[in-house]
Every structure is written in C-alpha cells, then in structure tokens.
Amino acid sequence: MVQFATILLSIILGISWMNHPVKTHTPSPQKEIVDTTMVFKETGGRMDWCFKTNRIVMDMPAGKTTDIYSMDENGLDTINLTREMIGQELCGQKIEKYHQKGHPVWHPDGTYIVFQVMNEHVSNPPKMTEYITFGGNYDLWIMKSDGSLKQKLTENPKGYGILHARFSKDGNKLMWGECFNSSSDSSIFGSWHIVVANLEYSENGEVKIKDSFKLQPGGEKFYETNEFSADGKTIYFSSNIDSHKKSVNLYNWNTESKKLTKISEKPEVWEEMMLYSPTEKDTYAFISTRFFKWKPGMGYMTLRTELFLNKSGKVHRLTYNNAAEKKNKLSKLHYFIGDYCWGPDGKTLLVLYYGFQIGKFETKVVKIKLN
C-alpha cells in the first residue's frame, strides 16, 4: 500500500481546514485564551461532536481491533456501536474480528454516523499501513446514531485508501480523501483525489450515494478533506500541492469558480486541520509546527505539532506538550495532535494527543475549555 507507511505520522494527524488566509503572528500566552485543560479519556482516537444532540463519537481500542463508541459530553453513558458487527455478513462482506472501524463523523442533525471499516482486501493480520490511522483498504459505511441499520456506501478496489469523510452543513453531501495509486511518485503519499458525493435518503432510513465527482485541484498530489463551507460550494483540505514533499499546507477550492486558494503562508511549515468555531465566524483552530523549525527532510519521526487558535486575526497557542521545541531528537518524547473537534458551545475542544519516542507510543484525549 502507499507508502502508507510513509504517511505514518502524517496521517496519524488527520487533516482539515477553512476560510480566510492564516496570517503569521507571534502567538499570545496560553493563559489569555485557555481556561482549563483536563484529561477526557486515557486512550482514544478520531472523534466528532454533534452540535445538535451534544453526543460524542470516538474510535477506541477494543482488544486487538478498534470500535466506535458513542458517549455524552462528559465521556459517560458509553455505548459500543460496532462490536456486534464481528462475525456477521453485512452488505456482502463478512466482518472479521480483526477488522478495524473508525473515523466516525456525525450527520449534522445527529441521525446518522458515517465511519470506515476494513474491507475484504485487508491482510490477516492487518499490516501497520492498514490500521485505521492510515486508511488503507477501507470502505465507507453509514449507520443510525444508535448503531442500527448499518449500510456500506463504497466498494473500493484493493489498495484504495479512504480518510476523513465530512458532511456538508445540510447533510446532503459527503466528501472524503481517497488514495487510488499508493505507489505513485506524484507525491510521497501516493496519488489521491477528493470525492464529493450527493446522498439520497429513503423513508425506510436507507442511504445511498446518488452520484459523485472527483477533484484534484493541484494535480496528482496528496489530499485530505476537512470541511465544507456553509453553502457547500467551497471545500477545505490539506495537501502538498506546492509544499515540501513531506509537508502539508492548507487550501480551499470553490467548486463553481474552480478557484484554488492557498491559506498557509510558509510551505515548509506543516499546517493542517483548520476547523471553524460553530459560534464565531472569525475564529478557527488549526494544527501547526510553527512553534519550532521543523526540517521536513529529517522525516516524520521528528515531527511535532501543537493546536493553535486564530481569533479575529490574532493567533493563540492552545497546547504546550513539547518542551524541547528546538530539538530534533528521537530520544526525546515528542507530541503531535492526531485529531480534534469543537463542542457545540464554541468554547470547548476535544484534542487527541499522540506521544512518540523510540520504543514508546501513547495516546490521550483532553478537553480544553476556552475563556
């Protein structure tokens, strides 16, 4: 599969972006913007928070696989939504006990959850490049919020990869990043495109892809989808269109005017996952290496990222996990942000931390409350 192994820590990060150009500023002290930071889960994975129902979905380890869990805003009332899939024949596929499920995302009204499941092309046991983090040999599925009525949305060929499905604000469209040539030299990540699909909902609850189209705004590169604009006409994504082969920047693409806009200013600075606050149109969070001089040529093993907030043009650093900011040493435990999401109040964020050191790897989900 792609040098999905080369995607390694890159895709562990997840990716997503939005609106106006990110201006370069000296971050203000954390205390000006952050009220409290607390541990939400001692282990966890990719997550999403429904603004309408206030429920959270998250993939988490479940024995030797991963399952998708629903929980309340405090991490309680936890329900495993996918465990019962094991051993069943669903939509023409037998779900094996080693098949991972993850990357859940809420439909805007909270009635459905889209997620990824390993397909029949995956190895047994799965290779590291096929773990949920990397998206290799997966298909998209959809289910009701209570875990019922599971349906398969895609039938991908062997070697195809999927990452980060996202609904439009009205729930009528779905987009995702898709790898179709893992061995391509077009980027270190292989060749990807963005798929935008129109969904069809029936009265009995079934959901189908009515039609779809594929985008490569910058040619054959790496693409990871992030968010739709409010009107659904502009999509935000991360890519290495004109950055270092091992780095990613933020972009948006207007599907009507066909205009590509680069949001990041420095190609050598890794920036991803730009998500707007649900309550303040001039406020968004994003992940970046801007706090230290990362050298892409040294590889992902030295990559470290933090979460930042751009509020009315002023950038605030929200997390301070990396103490040795100017050092590129594998002997030091360093952190990067694997995923995050906003809460309905626009003041709360859930953040997935990955800590890495030779011989050591850890995850943790924290809740950040803003002033």
Q: How far, in whole angstroms, is CA 363 from its chain's centroid?
A: 15
- Other C-beta atoms closer than 10 Å to the C-beta of 203 total 5
**Is 22's pLDDT higher than 80?**
no
Look over the chain and give the mean of its residue pLDDT values, rounded to a whole number. Answer: 87
Q: What is the pLDDT of residue 214?
A: 97
- Which of 51, 57, 107, 108 shows the shortest CA–CA distance to 82? 57
Q: How far, in whole angstroms, is CA 241 from its chain's centroid?
A: 19
C-alpha–C-alpha distance, residues 170 and 84, integer Å: 30
Q: What is the pLDDT of residue 29?
A: 53
Q: What is the pLDDT of residue 189?
A: 74
Confidence of residue 6 (pLDDT cuts 50, 70, 90): very low
Q: Which residues contact 12 (CB under 8 A, 6 or more apart)?
A: 133, 134, 336, 338, 354
Q: Which of 35-49, 119-133, 162-176, 253-267 has the lowest mean pLDDT?
A: 119-133
% the chain with pLDDT above 70: 86
Q: What is the pLDDT of residue 299?
A: 65
Query: Residues 158, 137: contact at Cβ < 8 Å?
Result: yes
- Which of 41, 73, 80, 42 shows the shortest CA–CA distance to 56? 73
Phi, psi of 103 (to 5 degrees): 50, 55
Average pLDDT of the residues in 120-145: 88
Q: What is the pLDDT of residue 289?
A: 92
Confidence of residue 130 (pLDDT cuts 50, 70, 90): confident
Q: Which of 63-67, 103-107, 190-194, 299-303 has the lowest mean pLDDT?
A: 299-303
**What is the residue extent of each domain of the chain?**
4-370
- Other C-beta atoms closer than 10 Å to the C-beta of 172 total 15
**Is 21's pLDDT higher than 70?**
no
Average pLDDT of the residues in 240-267: 90
- Which of 326, 1, 361 shows the shortest CA–CA distance to 181? 1
Q: What is the CATH number of domain 4-370?
A: 2.120.10.30
C-alpha–C-alpha distance, residues 225 and 93, integer Å: 27
Q: What is the pLDDT of residue 87?
A: 95
